[in-house]
């Protein structure tokens, strides 16, 4: 294949993609944004202004802040991959969106089950291997209200939806998917965290030597199948995770 033909194929591909609809799946975050309870608020400091000749800022926040990517090492000890070790092609995957927004609205403690996945497949067909599966709960619509996002009861317990461990095992072991994403702080529903005493779902996902994207948004603008998700982030050294710019291109 000649170089000219290859260049034309790439240019044609770009032109095709730009004719499609693009959906930003990423929250804009700042000091007042919702975040995992153990973390402090982000800090954004002005270092230089235009009066100094240029405008520059310092950003201080945990790696798992805003819409972000978790690398395997985030939860799993040992010789596990950091963010810098993820291959570029892993970060571009066919996107499947399981819509359980109605269920999560009716029951904030909703936990996705294997039956939910099988029900989805009856309508949309089998979930293909190598895909990125996102759980849509519309929890992102609570952003940027911290109290609404945490959704605590009078005893201080959060009530947020999430993945069931059996559902995750089914997707990775029976459907051979590549990665998952969701709209909440954690992979696990808050009720399961209290029951199990830990984030067993999150540990399981990262134990598969893959990544996940947390705090996604705009999943209501993406079809159940047919879109492609891109998750682009900086490449800090030995990072367990980092804010990400995730977006989808629709078919």
Catalytic residues, by residue number, are 74
d(CA 10, CA 220): 30
Phi, psi of 134 (to 5 degrees): -110, 140
d(CA 26, CA 195): 30
Would you tell me how many other CB atoms lie within 10 Å of the CB of residue 114?
A: 15
d(CA 59, CA 33): 14
Tell me the β-bridge partners of 188. Answer: 163
DSSP class of residue 152? B
């Amino acid at each position: 294949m000649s170089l000219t033909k290859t260049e034309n194929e790439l240019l044609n591909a770009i032109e095709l993609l730009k004719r499609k609809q693009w959906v930003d799946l990423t929250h804009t975050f700042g000091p007042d944004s919702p975040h995992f309870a153990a973390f402090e608020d982000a800090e954004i400091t002005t270092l230089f202004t235009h009066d100094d000749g240029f405008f520059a800022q310092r950003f201080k926040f945990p790696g798992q802040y805003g819409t972000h990517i978790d690398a395997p090492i985030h939860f799993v000890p040992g010789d596990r991959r950091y963010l810098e070790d993820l291959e570029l092609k892993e970060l571009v995957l066919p996107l499947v969106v399981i819509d359980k927004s109605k269920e999560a609205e009716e029951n904030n403690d909703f936990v996705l089950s294997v039956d939910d996945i099988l029900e989805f497949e009856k309508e949309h067909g089998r979930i293909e291997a190598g895909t990125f599966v996102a759980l849509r709960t519309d929890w992102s619509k609570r952003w940027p209200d911290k109290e609404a996002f945490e959704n605590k009861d009078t005893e201080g317990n959060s009530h947020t939806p999430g993945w069931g461990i059996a559902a995750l095992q089914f997707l990775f072991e029976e459907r051979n998917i590549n990665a998952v994403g969701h709209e909440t702080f954690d992979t696990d529903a808050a009720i399961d965290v209290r029951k199990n005493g830990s984030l067993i779902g999150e540990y399981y996902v990262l134990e598969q030597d893959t990544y996940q994207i947390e705090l996604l948004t705009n999943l209501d603008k993406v079809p159940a199948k047919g879109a492609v998700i891109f998750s682009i982030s900086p490449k800090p050294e030995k990072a367990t995770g980092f804010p990400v710019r995730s977006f989808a291109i629709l078919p």
